[in-house]
Each structure stands twice: as structure tokens, then as C-alpha cells.
Structure 1
Amino acid sequence: MANSLSDRKLIQIDTDPTYKRVAKAIEEAIMSGRLKTGDKLPTEAELATQLGVNRSTVREGIRALENSDLVTRVGGKRLIVQVPQASEIARVNTRALGLMNVSFLDLWELQLQIEPFAASSAAQKIDKDLIESLSENIAHLQENLDDDDMVIESDIEFHRLIAQAADNAALVLISEPIRQLLFSATTRLYDAVPQARHRLLEAHKAIFEEIKRRDSRAAKHWMAKHIEDFRRGYEVAGFDLTAPIPVNLRMQERFG
């Protein structure tokens, strides 16, 4: 039997605290385009008048937007609309993935799809500046091959540069948290499998050469081999592919 009209919730009331409703109203203006990147927000007094709340409530709502990286202060005073920084998005998403107990295998399966695509696209779109940056990255890796932290740092930066060279903003946002959490799992890899660092260097050199030659098919092939080798190293080290990866906050702060 159908519910009577009186039993149905025809009207929903927003029961969020007032400061959250203030934040939502401003966020909606940003996401709809009424407020654009670089625009100054009205003053607290103006917002209080427009929204019919007191200034302390506006201040709390703005603080929530600052924490979301949607607005920032210029000179410590006026607030402007900004695009959230990729690094901040990655930091939040990396921790979310960690709290969801994702495993090495979960992320590796995605990486096997994403990184070869990035290498293929980079070979087609890379510019001279990024070619130079990749060359310097490989030189830095070669000079610091016995320093585990430097190896991890160079590895993260190498893949980050390739994602940038692919010139695809969605790729950068999607791949960065996966990369950060996956490489949290490598902190003990090079102690357990010392030859892995040398294989890493040779793979980076091969991928770079194909990208520099603008051979997208070969770059994709070498990147796939590199990612598959990453898994083999993890297996040789005796690590559990299905165990949750703990978020390494120290490493995230240093390399994120």
C-alpha cells in the first residue's frame, strides 16, 4: 500500500550549521562561475549583509573554504578565488586511499594503465623544458643511487614530469595520489632488493630516450615493462601485494 501524502517528505530543510550553509553558498557561486578564479570575494561585512548572518558566521564559513583551498588571502587581507593546488588535492586523496586500506595490488593495477598512457602522450607533446628537466632528473638519480630517499624522490619526480609532459590536467590529478601512496610502499624495497635501484635507473633511461625520440609506441612499451618490473621487485622482496599500504606521512610531506 502506498504511503499517504502526509507520510512523504515533500520539503527538505537544510539542517547544516549556519556557517556551513554560508560556505556552500559561496562555493556554489564559485562552481557555477559567478565567482571566477582570481576574483575578490566581497568583504565579511558585505557577505554578512547579503546572506543575512553575522560576521562571525561568515568568518567560520570562509575558514572552511580556505581549508578546502578554494579561496586564499592576498597580502593577509582580501580573499580571492583560486583553483585548489594539485599537491593539496593529492595529499587529501592519498590519505583517503590509505584510510580505505587499498593494497599495493589495487594501485599497481591502475598504475599499469595510467603510466604507459602518460609516457605515450608525453612522447607526442613534450616540450624542450621538460626534456631538460627529465635529463636532469636521471642525472640526479644516477649520482645518488646509493641513497634510498633520493632514489624514491627521483622516481616520484620522474613520473610526475612525464604526467606534466602529457599535458593532461585530469591525468595529473588522478595519478599523483596513486603515485604518492604506491611509493610509500618502496621505503624498504631497496634494502631488500638492492639491484632494484639499478633496474630503475636503466628503465628511466630507456623511457626517456623513447620520449625524447617522440616514439609514443616505444615509450608506452618501456613504461609498461618498468611498471611490471616494479611489481616483480615487490614480490622478490617478499612483500604482501594484498596488504593495505600505510600512509607514510614523513615521506608525503617531503616528496608530496
Structure 2
Amino acid sequence: MEQVLPAYLRIATHFAREIEAGRLSQGEKIGPERALAEQFGVNRGTVRAALRHLREQRLVVTDSRGTYVTTPEHQTAAIIRQSAAPALEVGSGGPQGVRRDTGSGGPGE
């Protein structure tokens, strides 16, 4: 049986694919929460959760004026983290032989 994603993840996935495909570009504003909620047929809380997920993946940033697609550098960092995540989940004893970078390497670190 196919697993159904929560609405916020479906919305976040939609925007992630749009960004990846180049249909949304750096600096482009993603619509207001109210309009997105109407477009996707969900409440604003669901849209907020989707945008929070996209921010956590560093695909968008939010300021007092709205939510915008981030720079390619932020997106590359998110893609690298996502591709490394499955390797860290292997085994019951946690990641072994994985060296964590403890230096200051980028925004927010």
C-alpha cells in the first residue's frame, strides 16, 4: 500500500521540485500564505509548516516582506545534507567512522 505524505510535505515537495527544475529562481518570491493556502486547499498552518520545512532544507528564506528562493550555495548545501542522511542512518549504533566538521563553514554556523 502506498504511503500518503502529509499535506505540508506534499506542498514542500512541490516547491522543492519547482526550484530544482528552475521554474522558481533565486530571489523569486513565493506567494503569501493566504494565497498558497487557497491554491492548495489547506489552512495557513499547513502552509506555514511547508515553508518551515523548506527553510530547514535551506531552499527558501523568509523575512518581513515574504518568502524567497535562496541562493544556489544554500541549495547545494541542502542537497549534500539530504544525500548524506541515509548513510548516517545505517546501523543501530549510530553513525560510525563519520567525522563531523566542527569549524565555522557557512551561514548559521
What TM-score results when the alignment is normalised by the length of structure 1?
A: 0.32
CA distance in 2, matches of 1:245, 1:27: 28
Report the CA distance shift for 1:13/1:46 in structure 2 as closer, same or farther (over 3 A).
farther
Amino acid at match of 2:59: L
> 2:38 pairs with 49, 60, 68, which one?
49
Asked if 1:244 corresponds to 2:97, the answer is yes
Report the CA distance shift for 1:246/1:100 in structure 2 as closer, same or farther (over 3 A).
farther
Report the CA distance shift for 1:14/1:37 in structure 2 as closer, same or farther (over 3 A).
farther
Contact 2:16 2:54 in 1 (8 A): yes
Contact 1:98 1:247 in 2 (8 A): no
- 1:34-183 pair list within 5 angstroms: 34-74=23-63, 76-85=64-73, 89=77, 92=81, 96=85, 99=88
Amino acid at match of 2:9: K
Shift of 1:62: 0.5
Shift of 1:21: 0.5
From the two aligned structures, give the one with the greater strand fraction: 2
Report the CA distance shift for 1:38/1:14 in structure 2 as closer, same or farther (over 3 A).
farther
Amino acid at match of 1:85: E
1:117 aligned partner: none
Amino acid at match of 1:25: H
CA distance in 2, matches of 1:29, 1:13: 23
Amino acid at match of 2:69: V
Amino acid at match of 2:52: R
Identity %, equivalent residues: 32
Shift of 1:255: 4.9
From the two aligned structures, give the one with the greater helix fraction: 1
Contact 2:26 2:72 in 1 (8 A): no
Report the CA distance shift for 1:47/1:13 in structure 2 as closer, same or farther (over 3 A).
farther
Tell me which structure has the larger Cα radius of gyration. 1
CA distance in 1, matches of 2:89, 2:33: 38
The number of residue pairs the alignment matches comes to 99
2:93 aligned partner: none
Shift of 1:34: 2.4
What TM-score results when the alignment is normalised by the length of structure 2?
A: 0.68
Report the CA distance shift for 1:84/1:97 in structure 2 as closer, same or farther (over 3 A).
farther
CA distance in 1, matches of 2:85, 2:70: 23
CA distance in 2, matches of 1:96, 1:13: 23
1:164-210 CA deviation, whole Å, 9 max, x = no partner? Answer: xxxxxxxxxxxxxxxxxxxxxxxxxxxxxxxxxxxxxxxxxxxxxxx
Report the CA distance shift for 1:36/1:21 in structure 2 as closer, same or farther (over 3 A).
same
Report the CA distance shift for 1:255/1:47 in structure 2 as closer, same or farther (over 3 A).
closer
Supply the RMSD in Å over aligned alpha carbons: 3.4
Contact 2:30 2:66 in 1 (8 A): yes
CA distance in 1, matches of 2:22, 2:105: 33
Any gaps of 5 or more consecutive residues in structure 1? 1-11, 102-242
